[in-house]
Structure 1
């Protein structure tokens, strides 16, 4: 019997799931770090008594299970600080009328982070990621500590002093958008731009004229096709500068490359841009305003495809759960991650104080058909706004295809139909497939799931290593 059979759902090791045959007494740190990683991330469940390679149930008799639970509690009390919130459940099943148990340890996100592993007098901090637990990065440790205090990166104080002449670009940006109002030092002080000693906040530094750190990095790309596996990448540009320059750079990149068309009427004509100007600007402002600036080595990603524009920003929605793909943008309550940056953008009249920017996007697309509706989704590490190209009649092409017709895959899995649907129109990278399915990008998934579809000619493959792309073989899979 396998874990999937008693859970009735996905049991791949992922950010939220880990399996252990037993609690290794000779390598306590090897498993207890996973509990700390869950508590430092978004929580998760460790199943004890399950083979971690096959998900086959090993199980314990009742007395063994009780002993394993007691051992677990003792080691957590000894080696983790603070003690993370968790609950232990016994899940029973029968093999030939014999009752066995696996242990489910459900760990919650700790309200006080980081949770530290203290082993042999050496403190360590771990973070749970997709299917793995590794040492937390410097930025993640800072973010955990600050979030426990309800502080944001942009409001922390820097070591730089305010000099008004160093912010000419901010004042010019403000003048262009604020309908004649002036941005005074008094207003900046009230926003927390600098303190009574003239020391700038981190967010203020990112508005300075000569700012060049990678906290503001963006990458803008244009593709000839419908996805990143397209035959030709038209251009890839990176830019780092102050926040106002970043906004203007992204806007210029898109407007210089986007399509335009015209609709003739009886006595007039209507000019149509690929992306309505206000919707585009709101999308870019949203990406800058809600980016997670604790995450170094990341960037805002602007990707132009034949049928759509994708604007992705590092960090999931602040203090929010993951959001599946949704067209109902008006219902999304995006809480502010960066109070100072948002305050400046509101002062510049480019952001709504009430957080109604998504409403403007919906309004700009209100006359478009169902195929051209903007949508948004978020994962654990980024959120993405998708604006359909109004000059492309087909709408967003990179969508899963339904009503597939094919002979069942030999030794197939429950993911086969979703994969074949997702890859039917366009080649997809493994990372795109696993993100769509919500499973970890593991060697098991590549070899047993994707490999089986390739072996049986349901998927065609191109590329090498981790740059492989998969596309549904239309000879064996058709549409109903």
Structure 2
């Protein structure tokens, strides 16, 4: 009798099924590795009493009992964490004297290892008809898939000196301009009760240098990638750092226009509203799938739009078009990374980030509203240039740098950093020396706050 006469779905050994004539007690790793691999995958069934050519010859009830007892012993002594198993019997003869034992293994929520002695642990994964030890890269990918990339407690104790970049980010964007306390981080489960950082929080650590934090930025000439690249940058490191650098890249490639108000004044119009850009980058960092190796977030600026493309499938049950504009539900792919951005006041639990983007484009034509394009394994968040083919006049281009600063400050106070970004100065010292300090000496502008701080506000006199 063939095995597919007892189990119709079984055609051959593959990712879900494997056959064993018997379970060798003297060398259990020969079959136990299959159980481990099934648990590390999507689950599977090991059939005992079946030959390699799919002949279901079966075992006696006493042999079945011995096999089940052996599986229980090995699971208890050598497989960690223990796997969940169910058994099923099918008779191979009319007299019900012989049976095939089906050992059903459930997919584990943790990475499962086979332990031999005190120092030898091996993670096994299932191939198509074979079981092999996982490579270091496969273990990392498996761990990220099992734990959602970021919710595993690490062996790194949280110390403020090692997260200065993240704490400075919090000070910049939190309403009270303070860094979060250890208690706050623990309440948000970013740090364990014992003071250890979660794996997602490690991606904000000052010395983090993982390839999975990479963001590639490009400014294109034209409406597609057929044109030449006018500006480009690659940012890798702590997530707080790549966020700031990516934001600055877009800012230095953002045009500014003006429109007259009813009162006779002027209102600043940017190609891309600061709030919309910030929300878009935060969304990409928070929701990308970090388990997909060899990928990055891509920020491409074209003449008429920005495309922010991040790895990861669409998680919601409906397509983007089926949700009312600005009311996309919030589903967090990376719990801890999202919590870090939330505690820095960059992301809200209510999923209002996309609503903020929509509000920034209020009054724009429907074809210029923010949108999401869904591709297999990738999401493209698209923001349109509000000044593209617009009647708004770009008035700063023919002015000197000092005149540009004065025009910008007529709209309202701005920080030194913001002015430096708009005027495209790479060196803050040079910007202060040639533009800001001379204007202060002339009495045309004045500074409020710390002289050395880039976030100090500048006002027109």
Instruction: State the secondary structure of the residue aligned to 1:158.
Output: strand
* Corresponding residue of 2:251: 255
Asked whether the equivalents of residues 216 and 299 of structure 1 are also in contact (C-alpha less than 8 Å), the reply is yes
Instruction: State the secondary structure of the residue aligned to 1:261.
Output: strand
* Corresponding residue of 2:174: 178
* Corresponding residue of 1:54: none
- 1:109-131 CA deviation, whole Å, 9 max, x = no partner? x9837983463x64599xxxxxx
State whether structure 2 residue 393 is matched by structure 1 residue 392: no
Give the number of aligned pairs: 287
Alignment of 1:146-295 (within 5 A): 146=146, 151-180=147-176, 181-230=178-227, 232-265=228-261, 267-295=264-292
Distance (Å, rounded) in 1 between the aligned partners of 2:339 and 2:279 = 15
Asked whether the equivalents of residues 44 and 106 of structure 2 are also in contact (C-alpha less than 8 Å), the reply is no
State whether structure 2 residue 126 is matched by structure 1 residue 116: yes
Structure 1 residue 332: Cα displacement: 2.2
Structure 1 residue 189: Cα displacement: 1.7
* Corresponding residue of 2:349: 353
Instruction: State the secondary structure of the residue aligned to 2:150.
Output: helix
TM score, norm. by length of structure 2: 0.56
Higher mean C-alpha displacement, 232-241 vs 260-269? 260-269
Distance 1:154 1:205, change over 3 A: same
Instruction: State the secondary structure of the residue aligned to 2:268.
Output: strand
Counterpart selection for 1:362 from 358, 363, 384: 358
Asked whether the equivalents of residues 240 and 246 of structure 1 are also in contact (C-alpha less than 8 Å), the reply is yes
Distance 1:277 1:71, change over 3 A: closer
- 1:401-434 CA deviation, whole Å, 9 max, x = no partner? xxxxxxxxxxxxxxxxxxxxxxxxxxxxxxxxxx
Asked whether the equivalents of residues 315 and 383 of structure 1 are also in contact (C-alpha less than 8 Å), the reply is yes
Which has more radius of gyration? Answer: 2
Distance 1:185 1:141, change over 3 A: closer
Runs of 4+ in 1 over 6 A off after TM superposition: none
- 1:76-124 CA deviation, whole Å, 9 max, x = no partner? 674395349xxxxxxxxxxxxxxxxxxxxxxxxx9837983463x6459
Asked whether the equivalents of residues 212 and 242 of structure 1 are also in contact (C-alpha less than 8 Å), the reply is yes
Structure 1 residue 356: Cα displacement: 1.0
Structure 1 residue 239: Cα displacement: 0.7
- 1:253-300 CA deviation, whole Å, 9 max, x = no partner? 001111222223562222210011111111111111112222232111
* Corresponding residue of 2:18: 79
Asked whether the equivalents of residues 144 and 290 of structure 2 are also in contact (C-alpha less than 8 Å), the reply is no
Structure 1 residue 71: Cα displacement: 8.0
Structure 1 residue 74: Cα displacement: 5.6
Asked whether the equivalents of residues 325 and 377 of structure 1 are also in contact (C-alpha less than 8 Å), the reply is no
* Corresponding residue of 1:141: 142
Question: Cα RMSD over matched residues?
Answer: 3.3
Structure 1 residue 384: Cα displacement: 1.4
Distance (Å, rounded) in 2 between the aligned partners of 1:309 and 1:276 = 12
Unaligned runs of 5+ in 2: 20-37, 46-104, 110-124, 392-461
Distance 1:322 1:377, change over 3 A: farther
Structure 1 residue 329: Cα displacement: 4.4
Distance (Å, rounded) in 1 between the aligned partners of 2:17 and 2:298 = 43
Instruction: State the secondary structure of the residue aligned to 2:171.
Output: helix
Unaligned runs of 5+ in 1: 1-65, 85-109, 126-135, 396-480
Asked whether the equivalents of residues 329 and 375 of structure 1 are also in contact (C-alpha less than 8 Å), the reply is no
Higher mean C-alpha displacement, 355-364 vs 172-181? 172-181
* Corresponding residue of 1:314: 311
Structure 1 residue 308: Cα displacement: 0.1
